[in-house]
Amino acid sequence: MKTNMRRGKMMLAGCWRSLMGRLATMAMLATVLLVPSAMAGHPELPLDLGSAGDFVILAKTGISTVPSSDITGDMGVSPIDATAITGFSLIMDGSGEFSTSAQVSGNIYAADYAVPTPTKMTTAISDMETAFTQASLRTLPNTTELMAGNISGLTITPGLHKWSTDVLINSAVTLDAQGNKDAIFIFQISGDLIVASGQSVLLAGRAQAKNIFWQIEGPVGAVVGTTAHVEGVILTIKGITIQTGASFNGKLLAQTAVTLDQNIIGMDSDLIPPLVLLEIISEHGIGDLPVGIYTNLSGTVLTNAVTGSETIGGTQYVNTGWVMTGNDPLLGTTNLMTMTHTNDAVLAWQWGTNYLLSLTATNGAITNAVAGWKPSGDVYDLFAVPDQGYVFDHWAVNGIDLGSVSPLNVTM
């Protein structure tokens, strides 16, 4: 006798009453994400940075990096002296007015350098503070408390946007100038700006980093997570931290310290490697990077992993590897992979199916198979062997008599 027990849990009983049949519970969860767009209302005028605009990084209490960073433009500190610039291996110019670094394509200034640098730095810091204040005084916001501060996944149009909370970016945010290259974005944030690792602030519709201003009053300031990418000019009353491998197209202007870690910083999008997308697809398991779409700088090295198995009722899903389209490597047979992300790509985790075979025999035995998880498609001939003094009667599934033919042919 044959039976096909695919897609479920098989509990067999021979002779004895209970051959529990397959039980498969399959659930599909479809999530629809509606991404709102913050609409523009009152056009904003540009924010005047004064001489602070001459710097790509400007801070009052220090600038540090974990080497090696790649910075295009001038940077400087004041009123702190040059000892607060660390990780750059500074080389003093013969004039004594500035120093240089292999990590910086520009000059580096400090309050204790030779005249006229002290005055230059005092003026730049004053202009930075004035710009911060002017940004804070802008009124007539286009949005207030947009998404309670969690703007993840939004497309935002030009104007003034105001929050009394932290602002969180846990998935890519797009700033869309709607074709106007001179459109101004000003973000008034009473809390901190926190950009999650691997996420991005993207520009669209001819938006330009020089026209985007993040005015941040929180106790920490701005934190840009590892390998993330942000555009614009950050003005903080506290610090700015750019974590490992992140990039920033714009200016970092902090009233305390700027902390870097192997970053790319500049004010020209041509200096920043292109952004590429990675979509992760998986029907089962839990990944180090969950299912979703991620933005990375071209050349970013990623390690991705997913749990080896997932059990739902009488069905077990086992990872059999992965397939990649659009980027090398193209396939693998483990639940762990490493890639250099250079192109838009789709990573799909692959899964095989096991079903649970449960065998029950009272006053006898079922032979030629061992209970447990069995791969889909496996075939077994099951024999009913009654104990001495007993006679095999029948197979049963969910109380249904399947007859007494032995062996019973079963396909998982």
Peptide bond into 386 cis (omega under 30): no
Dist CA 85 CA 331 (whole Å): 45
CA distances from 143 to 39, 84, 187 (A): 8, 39, 10
Amino acid at 120: K
Q: Report the number of secondary-structure helices (H) and strands (E) in the chain.
A: 1, 40
Dist CA 394 CA 355 (whole Å): 23
Peptide bond into 407 cis (omega under 30): yes
Kindly report the number of other CB atoms within 10 A of residue 13's CB atom.
21
Dist CA 383 CA 406 (whole Å): 5
pLDDT at 171 over 70: yes
Q: What is the pLDDT of residues 259-299, one digit of tens each?
A: 999 999 998 754 556 778 899 999 999 998 899 988 887 88
Of 365, 226, 249, 357, nearest to 300 (Cα)? 226
Q: What is the pLDDT of residues 222-265, one digit of tens each?
A: 999 999 999 999 999 999 999 999 999 999 999 999 999 999 99
- Per-residue pLDDT, 3: 55
The model's confidence at residue 37, banded by pLDDT at 50, 70 and 90, is very low
pLDDT at 24 over 50: no
Coil, strand or helix: which one is 130? helix
Q: Please give the DSSP secondary-structure letter assigned to residue 368.
A: S
The length of the chain in residues reads 412
Dist CA 393 CA 19 (whole Å): 12
Q: Most confidently modeled of 20-34, 37-51, 287-301?
A: 287-301
Kindly report the number of other CB atoms within 10 A of residue 53's CB atom.
19
> Any residues with CB less than 8 A from the CB of 180 and at least 6 apart, and which?
158, 205, 206
Q: What residues form DSSP beta bridges with 72?
A: 105
Coil, strand or helix: which one is 210? helix
Of 195, 171, 175, nearest to 245 (Cα)? 195
pTM over 0.85: no
